[in-house]
Amino acid sequence: MKLIPAIDLMNGKCVRLFKGDFNKRKDFSREPYEQAKYWEKEGAKCIHIVDLDAAKTGIPTNDQSIKKIVKSVNIPIQIGGGIRSQERIEQLFSYGVDKVIMGTSAIENKELVKSLSSKFPKRIIVGIDSKEGKVSTRGWLEESDVLATDLVKEFSSFKIASFIITDINTDGTLEGTNEVFIKEIIEITDIPVIASGGVGSISDLLSLTKFEDSGLCGVIVGKALYENKFTISEASNILSTERINDIPINKDYYA
């Protein structure tokens, strides 16, 4: 299981939202490409980018920042936010992006996702953002009646790289992940799953390692890294295959 640091873009800046609320935003001082270089230097093997402006409006406005990030690092970049057409995907691939994340379009145009995952096998990630078990779209501003579990079952037959599942109620809170939701998802699919939302401590990461053998291949972390709750190096040690799995851990020690 790998740790994937997150860069959320808004107006060309690194930001973090609280539970996806655009009105509860915190800006960070580093330029996005500088932040990406820092994550790489710290040991990140991949970087997760979300274009929040595009997620909200469907109109990409942060492409200069995205291109600068890609040119600044030598590790894979996965990006989501407002990706709703083949043309947009091809544009992002032309920038050097490794994988793209389709979220809103996963509900609104399933046939497009199916077609694109066949055209670009293992380069399309389906992002499922859930609140109370139901999927939200368009930058989490719109709630649907579609169950996250139903969507995972349906897309599991496609040639996608992975699912990214986010529990909106935990995102940006630093209060821990929704393990019930994570377990529910990995039990119904053979596609690798990346968890997102709520990680606030090394203890939270350690708790997720029990899902590795069941299909959890990664965890996206943003706010906890920005606020120095732990380092990428510390997280990598916890998530490495060399750690001792069978010894009971005092989680209070890592909190």
**Residue type, position 160, single letter:** I
Q: What is the 3-state secondary structure (H, E, C) of 152-208?
A: HHHHCCCCCCEEEEEECCCCCCCCCCCHHHHHHHHCCCCCCEEEECCCCCHHHHHHH
Q: Go through the chain and tell me how many residues it has.
A: 255
**Helix and strand tally (H, E) in the chain?**
12, 12
Q: Which two tokens stand for residue 169?
A: 């109620």
**φ and ψ of 128, to 5 deg:** -120, 110
Residue 43's Cα: distance from chain center in Å?
A: 18
Q: So which residues are the catalytic ones?
A: 8, 129
Name 97's Cβ contacts closer than 8 Å, sequence gap at least 6.
Answer: 66, 70, 77, 78, 79
The DSSP element (H or E) to which 71 belongs, if any, is: helix 63-72
Q: What is the DSSP letter of 20?
A: T
